[in-house]
Amino acid sequence: MISDVIAAQPDYGADVANLTVRAATPTDLPAVQRVLTNSWGMPMVVGHGVQYDLTTLPAFVAERDGVLAGVLTYSIDNDQLEIVSIDAVSPGEGVGTALLAAAVADARRRGLRRVWLITTNDNLDALRFYQRRGLRLVGVRPGAVDLARQIKPSIPETGSYGIPIHDELTLELRLDTEDPYRHPVQAGRAAFLQRFRWCEGHADTWALLRDPIATSDVVRGLAYPFLGAVDVVVATEARGFSLGCLVARELGVAFVPIRKAEGALPGEKLQIEAAPNWRGRRHTLRIQRAGITPGHRVLLVDDWVETGASLHGAWELVSRCGGRLTGVALLVDQMPDALRGELERAGVRVGALVNSGELPPAL
């Protein structure tokens, strides 16, 4: 019951005892429109590039003694519930807490993976409110409000506390896993195992990228063991590129591709012929010399290491550029013991989300 969820919320000094929260009905529309217009100037908002007519969205309403006290509008897309707006007639009386609890309870009932919302960089009160109720700050879109203002010119230039309004901040409450940000490696591992599939005898690691939530969990799981410990991420063509770019972005460092002979790679290059891979094929691997400078600490990212042929080739190229391979981040570790020992002796840390023996058998 929604009332049970409200009762379970921490006590922030808000009086929720006399509140009733329920799904809005068509008869609520006139009163809902008045609240939304009073809060937003018009019942239209723009968030993450999407324009919403709030009067067309499903909503929860909060009532106190039969009088409308607040409105929450939301949108459900696949397995996510986005809170589009939340407005209390009289702030500080527990209305926002009750409405948020109702939305979370509904999302849980539907089996959704997360509840999320957008706020603006000036809204310090909202940041305090949501974070005290368990939501996590997970993203910033610099300049997003400046773009939204082109769609809705009435968005003010200056907001709360005299702060210029420029950016969107994303907050979320995950419902499918327990705090993936506190234990990122475990969360990444769980996300990968949950979505791993064999397809036509091959591991379909590409399918992971179709799920942005799981991809984010996996990328954090690969990146966080090396936070602050590397200057450059390298990856070999082709699947390594998709992961390597994302891990480099997560770490805030440069990404340098290692290409095979067929791909374009302008500028001065170093190249090496790698040993036969798991298919018995040899590849010429190439790197732009300017990508790595002497002393750079380098992380190699790949989806799978079996024979270690590409890993050895990449390692050699990094060394020739003057860099030092300090880490290897993998989705799946199937490397030979001899290669593992070689990496350990060189002081190279290996971080893998799973061992190949943990995967289901190929069909």
pLDDT digits (tens, 9 = 90+) for 156-212: 999 999 999 999 999 999 999 888 899 999 999 999 999 999 888 888 888 889 999
Under the banding of pLDDT at 50, 70 and 90, the label for residue 237 is confident
Amino acid identity, residue 69? A
Contact 214, 195 (CB under 8 A): yes
Helix (H) or strand (E) segment spanning residue 213:
helix 212-223
Contact 108, 121 (CB under 8 A): no
CB within 8 Å of 345: residues ≥ 6 apart: none
Under the banding of pLDDT at 50, 70 and 90, the label for residue 10 is very low
Pairing of strands 284-288, 136-141: unpaired
CA distance readout (Å), 237 to 112, 195, 281, 302: 35, 23, 14, 9
The domain 184-358 is classified under which CATH number: 1.10.10.10, 3.90.76.10, 3.20.20.10, 3.40.50.2020?
3.40.50.2020
Quote the pLDDT of residue 278.
63
Give 266's Cβ-side CA count (13 Å radius). Answer: 0
Please give the structure tokens belonging to residue 197: 């599939």
The strand ranges marked E within 18-160 are 19-23, 44-47, 50-53, 59-64, 67-77, 80-88, 114-120, 136-141
The strand ranges marked E within 219-310 are 232-236, 254-260, 269-273, 284-288, 297-305
Q: What is the mean pLDDT of the chain?
A: 90
Please give the structure tokens belonging to residue 23: 């799904």
Q: What's the rounded mean pLDDT across residues 54-61?
A: 95
Q: Helix, strand or coil for residue 55?
A: helix
Q: Regarding predicted confidence, which is higher, 62 or 208?
A: 62
Under the banding of pLDDT at 50, 70 and 90, the label for residue 2 is very low
Quote the pLDDT of residue 100.
97
- Closest of 13, 21, 17, 9 to residue 133, by C-alpha: 9
- The Cα 224–Cα 236 span in angstroms is 20
- The Cα 86–Cα 74 span in angstroms is 9
- Closest of 302, 304, 262, 253 to residue 286, by C-alpha: 262
Quote the pLDDT of residue 17.
61
Quote the pLDDT of residue 35.
94
**Cα dihedral angle (318, 324, 329, 333), rounded to 10 degrees?**
80
Pairing of strands 269-273, 284-288: antiparallel
The domain covering 2-174 belongs, at the CATH homologous superfamily level, to Gcn5-related N-acetyltransferase (GNAT) (3.40.630.30)
CA end-to-end span of the chain: 44
Residues 341-355 have pLDDT tens digits of 999 999 999 999 999
Model confidence at 276: pLDDT above 80: no
Model confidence at 277: pLDDT above 80: no
Model confidence at 145: pLDDT above 50: yes
- The fraction of the chain above a pLDDT of 90, given in percent, is 73
Domains of the chain, residue spans = 2-174, 184-358
Model confidence at 239: pLDDT above 90: no
Quote the pLDDT of residue 8.
37
Residues 285-332 have pLDDT tens digits of 999 999 999 999 999 999 999 888 889 999 999 999 999 999 999 999
Under the banding of pLDDT at 50, 70 and 90, the label for residue 109 is very high
Contact 99, 21 (CB under 8 A): yes
Quote the pLDDT of residue 18.
80
Q: Do 184-358 and 2-174 have the same topology in CATH?
A: no
- Closest of 61, 194, 175, 25 to residue 110, by C-alpha: 175
Contact 354, 189 (CB under 8 A): yes
Quote the pLDDT of residue 261.
78
Contact 65, 55 (CB under 8 A): no
Q: What's the rounded mean pLDDT across residues 103-110?
A: 97
CB within 8 Å of 108: residues ≥ 6 apart: 175
Contact 258, 317 (CB under 8 A): yes
